[in-house]
Amino acid sequence: MATSFKQLIEKVQTAEYAVEAQERRMAADWRQLKASWKAGWTPGRIVLAGLVAGFVVGRVEPTKSVAKGNSIMQMITALSGLFASATAQHAAAHVDNVADDVGDVADTVQASVPDTAPADV
């Protein structure tokens, strides 16, 4: 069942012709579809498609923004800023109290230490 080289070449040429014929049919079908598509778009259909598209976009946009979480994210950001400022205010008040305590301790320590410094001559 050995096939000769000439038979293989003939098979390849036949396959190439089949592919070229299919390409020509596809190009003709594509041109026909393109022409039918363009002919189908009358001014009334274009206006109707615009109205439908506008309605769909108007209905989808609010849902889309909620789904994205923009409003939720803004709320979280605002609340975290409020929490951070309250925490910072509390920390600042706490630091003032600690500074007063440290000052009191320093005064107490200084009062309890005897003055052993040499006198100025």
- Kindly tell me if the per-residue pLDDT of 16 is higher than 80: yes
Question: pLDDT tens across 30-71, in order?
Answer: 999 999 988 888 888 888 888 898 888 888 776 666 556 666
With cut-offs at 50, 70 and 90, classify the pLDDT of residue 15: very high
DSSP letters along 58-117, please?
HHHHHHHHHHHTHHHHHHHHHHHHHHHHHHHHHHHHHHHHHHHHHHHHHHHHHHHS---P
Question: pLDDT tens across 64-101, in order?
Answer: 665 566 666 677 777 777 777 777 777 777 777 777 77
The per-residue pLDDT for 65 is 63
- Could you give the CA distance from residue 104 to residue 102 in angstroms, rounded to a whole number? 5
